[in-house]
Each structure stands twice: as C-alpha cells, then as structure tokens.
Structure 1
Amino acid sequence: MAPSENTPLVGGNNHSDQSGNALPMHRPTSFPSRLNPNAPPGHPNFVSSVYWLFTSSWVNILLLFVPLGFASEFLHWPAVWRFSLNFLAIVPLAKLLGDATEQASLKLGQTLGGLLNATFGNAVELIVGIVALLQGQLRIVQQSLIGSILSNILLVLGCSFVAGGLFKSESTFQQTAAQASGSIMMLGCITVAIPAAYQGSSRMSALLTGGFEALEKINKHADETEHGLLFISRGASLILVAVYALYLIFQLRTHAFLYEAEEADEEEEVPMMTPVAAVAGLLAVTLVTSFNADYLVGAIDETAQEYGIPKAFIGTILLPVVGNATEHFTSVWMAAKNKMEIAIGVSVGSSIQIAVGVIPSLVLLGWAVGQPLTLYFQSFETVVLVASVVLVNTLIQDGRSNYMEGAMLVSLYAVAALSFWVEPDV
C-alpha cells in the first residue's frame, strides 16, 4: 500500500527541515495513552516528552553505543574500538538532535524556530569541527566540512531525486527558491576557491619570473603566504557570516513564501514534547555528542595508521555520512512523498549552512583561540567541490527532477569517494 500524506515515519517520528525552515510535518492527532497516560492529547508533560524522545524510533537502539564509547575512552581500549563505538554512538545522537530541534521549533514560531534549526541542524558537524579545531587537527576540520557539503548536495539530494523518481516520472519544486539557494551555495563555493587560487597564483608567478629557484625561496618564506591566506580567510569569513545572517532574513522573513510547502500539504501540528523538555533535550544531547566526538576525533590518527585507512577518506566520507544521517532519511522520505521542496530545503539548505555559516564561523573561532584555520583547502578538494556545486545548480535550475538526475549526483559522489580513498594525507 502506498504511503498516504498522513503516514508516519519509521517509529512514528517525523523529521524537521534542517535548512532552517519551519515546514509542515505530520503527526498523529493524539497521543497513545500508553505513552502519556497523565497528559491530555496535545499537552505532553516533561516525563512523556522524554519518553517519546527516546522511544520514537528504532534508531535509538543504537544509544547503547554511547556508554560503550565512553567506556572505550576511559578504559583505554584499542583505537579502532574507540573510533568505531563513538562513530556508531553519534548516529542516534544526530537523530535525537533533529527530533528535539523539530519539537522546540513548534512553539517558537517560524522565525525563532528557523533560527533554532539553523543552529542545531548541523550540530554534529559543528561539534566535530570545534573538537578537531581545539585539538589542532585543522585538516580534519576542513575535510569533514567539505565532506558534509558533498554528502548533502550529492548523496542526499541524489538519493532524494531517485526516491521521487520511483513514484513519479518527474518531480517539481519551487524554481525561484531553488535558484536562490543554488546561488548562495555557489557564493560559498567560490569563496573557498579564492584562497586556493591565491596560493596557486603565487607559485605560478614565481615560476614564470624566477624559475624553480624563486619557488624554493617562496617555500622557505612560507610565513608570508600563510599571512596572506589568513588575512583573506578571516576577512572573507566576516563577510560570509554577514551574508548568512542576511540569507536567514531573506528565508525566514522577507521572502518566506518562496520556501513554504503547498497549502494542501499543511496539517495542524500536535506537539509531542514540551518546549522546556525539547530545549533541555537539545542541550543534553549536544553535551553528550561533544564528548563522543572528542573521543572519535582523538582516535582517528591511530586508527588510520594501524589499519591503512586514509585520513582524507575518514574525514571527507565517513564522518559526514554519520553527521548527515538525519538529513538523509528526512530528505529521501519527503521526496518519496512528493514533497521535493522540503527535500531540497533539507539537503541544499544544510549545505548552505555549512558553506556560508559553519566554515567561516570556525575560521573566526580558530582566530580567537590561536589556531590558523584558513579557507585554503587542497586543490583536489576545491575542484571536487566546485564541480559538484556546478552540477547541482545545473540540475535544479528548471525546477524539475527525475531519477536519472539523481543517479548522476550519486555517481559523482561515488567517484569522489574513490578519489578520497587514494588522496595522500598532507
């Protein structure tokens, strides 16, 4: 039987739009009495809220890995166990973050709810990035963020196009909103490419004017180049943060109508958590995730060396897939229900948050704590990112999608994953 508009998600739980939009979601019209015996329908109490959060999906079974991840760190288990257990622990934690964010958004209204989604939608990626930054693993920071963007716009969006194409020959979505999101995404991509162009042009100029001796001189005086990269990156980050704030105003206030789902899809939402319980859940889960992420990042070097797994593959492919687990499920499910606006909002919107919000914020945080994080990514990563954003923009410009376009996006992601497996660690 084909799913109807009221069909609940797995375990009776729907997901929120991670792009920062307060979008319609579908819930049962009342609470099962066994879940909330003391609260009337639509009026959950704190206990029932916590109960629902932890029992709303079968994915939460994986929460068993959270204490195991802690134990692996304190008992000094081998690095591969510390990495694997904390890796698996982050999957359900990402799910809980998405659910708690959605519930908190219901009572705060579209604007505040959207800002809350913008803050917590990529919480796992942000936490992993902050932990790696404070540990001085700047390449892990860059790789995980680039990988998150690629995972969202290639794997998540590609699977969504495929899922939508399985039920309809062609899916449609709001063309103007998609073009606006694509343009913002391109801005973030170009800003990442500019420092790489600066680095490359400095070396090329040296070769043309003084041959290899001049290039050797530049290498010996790398501090000058590093200073230039830091100046460009920090200045550009300030600009991007301002653009992201303007984008939130555009999306949530002045042009919110562009991002709204069709009226026929809207249904009255019944909260499953109290606002206090939802916010408390957000804070608690974020705190726990920060510890698991800390243990995970700390085990990357030893695991990569012991088992021959490239750090580039871990940072760019494995970590983002875990962090984007919630977005992936939500986007594919919405696309299968012919709600492509929500699917694109989740995948492309989440990438915008990373490119225009999280990356520059981490550069500025690195500036504050004395870590020289820049927007200069390796040339190979920059080329892959630019090619991916160009392909996505090409496919969403017409406001239509099909399974073939989805297959193209997933194929490019597979090629990128193969390439990152053999990319040398630097």
Structure 2
Amino acid sequence: MSPNSETSPLLGNNDSRPECWSRRILRAIKADGEPSWTESFKFFLFGSWANVLLLFIPLSILSHNLHWDAALRFVFSFVAIIPLAKLLGEATDQLSIKLGQTLSGLLNASFGNAVEIIIGTAALLNGELRIVQTSMLGSILSNILLVLGCSFLAGGFYHSEGSFNLTGAQASASLMTLSCITLVIPAAYASTTLSGIPEFPCDIPDDKGGCPSPGLLIISRGTAVLLLFVYCAYLVFQLYTHPQFFRQSSTGEDEEETSGHMNMMAATLSLLLVTVITAFCAEYLVASIEETAQRYHIPKAFIGVILLPIVGNAAEHVTSVWMAIKDKYELTISICVGSSIQISALVIPLLVILGWIVGQPLTLHFENFETILLFVSVLLVSLLIMDGKTNYMEGLMLTILYLVIALACECKRHPSLCRNVVD
C-alpha cells in the first residue's frame, strides 16, 4: 500500500480531516442554502444607490482629525450617518428573517433606533444635555408627524382609504400617550413647586449653568426605571400574549419579498461593523455642533429637533412610505409609532440612567414649549388612528403640523429674524 494512500497507518486520514473541519467551519458560518459571503456583502454594499454617500465617511474622519472648519465637519458627519442608518436597518432586517418573530422583535427593539442611541450617548458623554433632549424629542416628532404623515399622504395617492388593526394601533397609541404624560409631569413639577427650581452653582452643570433639583432628579430617574418596566411588558404583550393585534396578514408575495439576501454571520458582522463606524461619525458630529451653532448662528434646538432626526429616521422614512404605498398600514404604524415608543419608553430612560451612572444630570424635564409640542402631536396622532382607517388628508394634517413646529422652533430661537420679516 502506498505511503501516500488515504488509509496509510502512518498518515491516517490526513486528507479527510481537513475536509471534515472545513465543512464544520463552513456550516458554522453559513448554513446550507444561505447566500454566500460574496453575495451577502455585494447586496449589502451595492444594493442601494444611497450607499454612494458612504464616501463621506472618510471625509468625516479626515475633517475631524485635520481640524477643518466646523461646518464641514458637521456636514460630512451628518451626510455619512444617513447611509449608515440605512445599512443598520438593512442588517437588522436580514437578521430578523433568520431569527423568527420573537427574537426579531427583540433585535428590532435593540437596533431599531441605534443611530439615536449612539448620537444621544455621544452627546451625553460630552455634556451636551440639551442636544440629548432635543434630539430625542425631535426623533419622536419626526416619526409620528413627518414619517407617518408622508406615509399616509403617499399611500392615499394609491388607495382611497387604508385600514389597519385598530386594537394594536390603539395599544401602541396608549403607550405613546403614557410616555408623553411621564414627560409632562417633570415639567409641571419644575414649574409649580419651589423644590423644582434648579440649584446654582453646580459641580456638573446642565446647559443652563445649574443643576436640576434633587426632587427633579428623583422623579426623572424613578420614572425612567418604571418606563423601562412598562416597555418590557409591552414587548411581552406584543410578542407573546397578544401578537395577533400586531400581525400583518402574509401572502406569497410577502414571503418572496422577505427572502434573505445575506447569511446570518455576514449580517451579524455587518451590523457590528456599521454600529462601530456610526459611533465614530456620531462622535464627530456631536463634537462639531457647539462650534457650528456659535459660528453660523444655528440654534441648538433646531439642530436637535429638526436636523438630527432626519439622519436617524432616513431609512425608516423610506421603508414606511413604501409599506403604505403597498397598502401595508400595519407595518407603517409599527415603524412610526413603534419607533416613537422605543425612543420615549426605552432610549430616553436608558440615557437618563446612563447619565446617572456617569454623573451627568440628565432629567425628563423638557422646556414648557417642547412639552406642549409633544403633547399636541401625540394628541393629534391618537385622534387620527383611533378609527382604524386613514387617507391622504390625515397624512397632510400630520405633515402640516410638523412644518408648523419647525417654523415655531426657528422663530422661538430667532425672534429678531421673525421681527424683521414682520417689519
């Protein structure tokens, strides 16, 4: 018998061992029938024309490290986050297809607002507490007014009337209303009680130069813990006990559209990589806000309420409008209202608790003007979806309210500009 034979007693099965281990490794990183790594990353990187904007990532890094003008650093980082937000959503969707309904729900809860979490965390660690508050408020308003309004408006051009599961929509709207009320209470406490007045001076001041009162901190941190508990209960309600209220009827066309384009390992690696890159771009973006706002006289509130949410909601905006055009309003409601619930009941409480840990006095006390804006917006959305039907007129009303809020934010921060227009 030849010494090079596979059955050689000296060599054993040397030729078969590499095949055995290679097969095990391949099965671990790509299951049978899944797209290859080449196909996965080809779809991920070249599946959309929006990915051309990824060229702004190296520009963002260069502008930050070479200390270019603040406006250039802000614009480059701002534009770079837009395709990153879309890629985060794409990777999450591809993983959701493989993981099933329960785990995909948890995954979407964790990464559905990853951009907002990253921007909020970066601003919090840099002490930009007002940017944290305004960006979170702006994300909520953008989702329930701009994104939902454009979705109803676009869907109304293709369907005279759209319908969705009324019970599930009411459950989501009720939780959104509860979250809104929990943001009203700290503002009422700070405005009507002497113990709610901020303390001066302060070791770690907020943007106004003072510390929130102990009572305001206790209310905010205690409410944050309770909101996290309510959000966990909402996940159980949505995924386990009453999933029929949120389920979209599936067809063969839907199943074909939701077929996976990436294998699980490629989607997981892409999700982690994009999250890290987004964190760096968000850090560069937040670091340039202060200088940009001062040099070019752009109010921070306008940046937080209007500009930053456009970045975080770019991918959701396109997906929501597309689902409404295809008459899938359950998915539209889930994307818009569900994302607002995640921000108000998950992201904001987490940031309050994180601020508690790192010593930043972040509270749930928004300015009275901002609290009123949130309250009337949630009220209008609740009124419009309570009948389980929608049309283009309802979408127009939501969009108009968002434009009025944008105009009010600009005039509030630039009264001289509005005075000159009147004169």
Same fold (TM over 0.5): yes
Q: Name the structure 2 match of 1:88.
A: 79
Q: Name the structure 2 match of 1:169.
A: 160
Q: Name the structure 2 match of 1:254.
A: 241
* Regions of 4+ moved over 4 Å: 39-42, 218-225
CA distance in 2, matches of 1:272, 1:406: 33
Q: 2:91 is aligned with what amino acid?
A: A
Of 320, 331, 336, which residue of structure 2 is paired with 1:342?
Answer: 331
Report whether the alignment pairs 1:411 with 2:400: yes
- Aligned residue for 1:299, secondary structure, equals helix
CA distance in 2, matches of 1:157, 1:42: 37
Q: 1:372 is aligned with what amino acid?
A: P
Cα gap change, 1:105/1:225 in structure 2, threshold over 3 Å: closer, same or farther?
closer
Q: Name the structure 2 match of 1:315.
A: 304
Cα gap change, 1:197/1:221 in structure 2, threshold over 3 Å: closer, same or farther?
farther
1:143-194, Cα deviation, whole Å (9 max, x unpaired)? 0000000000000000011011101111111100000000000011000110
Of 75, 81, 97, which residue of structure 2 is paired with 1:106?
Answer: 97
CA distance in 2, matches of 1:333, 1:345: 13
Please report how far the alpha carbon of residue 257 of structure 1 lies from its aligned counterpart in structure 2 after TM superposition: 1.2
CA distance in 1, matches of 2:304, 2:374: 15
Of 60, 67, 92, which residue of structure 2 is paired with 1:69?
Answer: 60
Q: 1:172 is aligned with what amino acid?
A: S
CA distance in 1, matches of 2:93, 2:249: 19
Q: Is the 8 A contact 1:241 1:360 kept in 2?
A: yes
Q: Is the 8 A contact 1:42 1:270 kept in 2?
A: no
TM-score by length of 2: 0.86
Q: 2:292 is aligned with what amino acid?
A: T
- Aligned residue for 2:213, secondary structure, equals helix
Please report how far the alpha carbon of residue 424 of structure 1 lies from its aligned counterpart in structure 2 after TM superposition: 3.7
Report whether the alignment pairs 1:391 with 2:380: yes
Q: 2:181 is aligned with what amino acid?
A: I
Q: Is the 8 A contact 1:199 1:225 kept in 2?
A: no
Cα gap change, 1:219/1:106 in structure 2, threshold over 3 Å: closer, same or farther?
closer
Please report how far the alpha carbon of residue 107 of structure 1 lies from its aligned counterpart in structure 2 after TM superposition: 1.3
Q: Name the structure 2 match of 1:180.
A: 171
Of 239, 262, 286, which residue of structure 2 is paired with 1:273?
Answer: 262
CA distance in 1, matches of 2:116, 2:259: 29
Please report how far the alpha carbon of residue 250 of structure 1 lies from its aligned counterpart in structure 2 after TM superposition: 0.8
Report whether the alignment pairs 1:194 with 2:185: yes
Q: Is the 8 A contact 1:157 1:344 kept in 2?
A: yes
Q: Is the 8 A contact 1:312 1:423 kept in 2?
A: no
Q: Name the structure 1 match of 2:274.
A: 285
Identity of aligned residues (%): 56
Q: Name the structure 1 match of 2:121.
A: 130
1:249-286, Cα deviation, whole Å (9 max, x unpaired)? 11111111111112336425421111111111111000
Cα gap change, 1:221/1:81 in structure 2, threshold over 3 Å: closer, same or farther?
closer
Q: 1:162 is aligned with what amino acid?
A: L
CA distance in 1, matches of 2:376, 2:190: 20
Q: Name the structure 2 match of 1:239.
A: 226
- Aligned residue for 1:338, secondary structure, equals coil
Please report how far the alpha carbon of residue 99 of structure 1 lies from its aligned counterpart in structure 2 after TM superposition: 0.4
- Aligned residue for 2:355, secondary structure, equals helix
**Structure 2 gap ranges (5+):** 1-29, 203-209, 415-423
How many correspondences in the alignment? 376
CA distance in 2, matches of 1:171, 1:358: 31
Q: Name the structure 2 match of 1:377.
A: 366
Report whether the alignment pairs 1:355 with 2:333: no
TM-score by length of 1: 0.85
1:395-417, Cα deviation, whole Å (9 max, x unpaired)? 00000111111111011100111
Of 285, 291, 295, which residue of structure 2 is paired with 1:302?
Answer: 291
CA distance in 2, matches of 1:344, 1:82: 35
1:266-308, Cα deviation, whole Å (9 max, x unpaired)? 4254211111111111110000000000000110111111111
| Max Rg structure | 2
Please report how far the alpha carbon of residue 220 of structure 1 lies from its aligned counterpart in structure 2 after TM superposition: 6.1
Give the CA RMSD over aligned residues: 2.0
Q: Name the structure 2 match of 1:17.
A: none
Cα gap change, 1:40/1:368 in structure 2, threshold over 3 Å: closer, same or farther?
closer
Please report how far the alpha carbon of residue 47 of structure 1 lies from its aligned counterpart in structure 2 after TM superposition: 2.5
CA distance in 2, matches of 1:423, 1:41: 59
Report whether the alignment pairs 1:47 with 2:35: no
Q: Is the 8 A contact 2:199 2:211 kept in 1?
A: no
CA distance in 1, matches of 2:149, 2:288: 31
Report whether the alignment pairs 1:400 with 2:380: no
Q: Name the structure 2 match of 1:22.
A: none
Q: 2:140 is aligned with what amino acid?
A: I
Q: 1:151 is aligned with what amino acid?
A: S
